[in-house]
Amino acid sequence: MKMTFRWYGAASDPIPLKYVKQIPGMTGLMGLLDKPAGVDWPEEEIKALVEEVHAAGLELEVIESVNVHEDIKLGLPTRDEYIANYCSTVRTLAKYGVKVIIYNFMPVFDWLRTDLARVIPEDGSNSLYYNERDLGDMGPLEIVRRTAEGSQGFSLPGWEPERLAQLEQTLKLYENVTEDDLRANYKYFLDAVVPVCEEVGVRLACHPDDPAWPIFGLPRIAHSKEDFDKIVALHDSPANGICLCTGSLGSNPDNDIPSIIRHFGMMNRIAAMHVRNIKFLGQHEFRESAHLSSAGDLDMYEIMKAIHDVCPDTYVRPDHGRMIWDEQGRPGYGLYDRALGAAYLNGLWEAIERNEMS
């Protein structure tokens, strides 16, 4: 297991790499370049990022958010150009040592919350919160406006202003797209990109829908074991992998996370893990909790044990944290609670390993 940390780059992440390096057991980053979907990432920017991370004593073997252009998901004729750019980005990233590329195939919306700073009454910290009832009242345009307001001037992954300007038009394009259509377009993408990944030694890692059910009537095809069984079958290769995000899949209590890890780990399809906990508050209502099992409803010991048993060499990162100790920063991506999360997950890991040996 390689413990890693999501980092947004020096220009937009207030957390210095030195601080990341000082978290015990931290080996590297899940990094990114802030590029709109469909763009071929420039080699000089990738090179500069890798050199900056290496200079801080950290690895950069995982890249997040090489976003898939909407035209690819919609299967529009323009998709081939964007797929070619994607393949080119894969090749350049591989040249600089990247092994895993995390992406998602969610139409229009990336992860979604109805409150980015919900106060947790027990201790006065705050975290991301979701309540389907609030969402129903708002509608897509309103939630986008609120998200922009609540993010304290930071951009949120998947909410690029360029894309959102065309939101209404894009929503209309999806009106007649079924789940099967979306899967067919997904297969077209994988059939083009996975062979390139195989050639250069990169694994794609599909991030689940978050929350783990359809929203706004859009087709969503990545939020259950059954969904991912279909995804891995679309193109049969270890390079067609999964980023198994416990908090995203775990937002639906029907998803048994340790058993899903075991299932796909034994198939050699887990390329990366996002590990965090969820506190259920009602039907389609939850908030993100501290990483400890006792703070939420997921069994973090069983999650780490499953990783240890079936994909012990995978990349793990603590996922969204709460805002604690009056930290100001990007919602979900502060330093303190994610550092605590990493320390806790490393502690579980050490105990599991010691137990195995005794």
Give whole-number Cα distances, 307 to 169, 214, 226, 316, 342, in Å: 41, 27, 20, 9, 15
- Closest to Mn ion by CB, 208 vs 265, is 208
Q: Does 69 bind Mn ion (CB under 5 A)?
A: no
Q: Shortest gap between Cβ of 131 and Mn ion (angstroms)?
A: 19
Contact partners, residue 220, CB within 8 Å, separation at least 6: 106, 107, 179, 209, 213, 214
Neighbours of 252 (CB within 10 A): 18
- Calculate the alpha carbon distances from 57 to 7, 53, 265, 345 in Å: 14, 7, 29, 21
Residue among 4 and 92 whose Cβ is closer to Mn ion: 4
Cβ nearer to Mn ion, comparing 86 with 103: 103
Size of the site for Mn ion (CB under 5 A): 3
Q: Is there binding between residue 163 and Mn ion (CB under 5 A)?
A: no
Tokens matching residue 141: 């345009």
Distance CA 246, CA 116 (A): 19
113 binds Mn ion (CB under 5 A): no
Residue 274 CB, shortest distance to Mn ion, in Å, is 3
Catalytic residue, candidates 8, 245, 284, 344? 245
- Of 125, 76, 73, nearest to 103 by C-alpha is 73
Considering the candidates 115, 227, 319, 337, report the single residue annotated as catalytic.
319
Q: Is 235 a catalytic residue?
A: no
Establish whether 34 is a catalytic residue: no
Phi, psi of 73 (to 5 degrees): -65, -35
Query: Which two tokens mark 255?
Result: 């998803």
**How far is Cα 74 from Cα 266, in angstroms, rounded to an integer?**
32
Q: Would you say 74 or 222 has its CB closer to Mn ion?
A: 222
Given the residues 69, 235, 274, 284, select the one marked as catalytic.
274
Q: Is 207 a catalytic residue?
A: yes
- Does position 330 bind Mn ion by CB under 5 A? no
Distance of closest approach, residue 278 Cβ to Mn ion, in angstroms: 11
Identify whether 243 is a catalytic site residue: no
- Indicate which single residue of 6, 220, 223, 274 sits in contact with Mn ion (rule: CB under 5 A): 274
Active site residue 319: yes
- Yes or no: say if 67 and 206 are a contact pair by the CB < 8 Å rule: no
- Scanning 57-65, 93-101, 237-245, 326-334 for contacts with Mn ion by CB under 5 A, the matching segment is 237-245
Which residues would be at the binding site for Mn ion (CB under 5 A)? Answer: 245, 274, 319
| Active-site residue list | 207, 245, 274, 319-320, 333
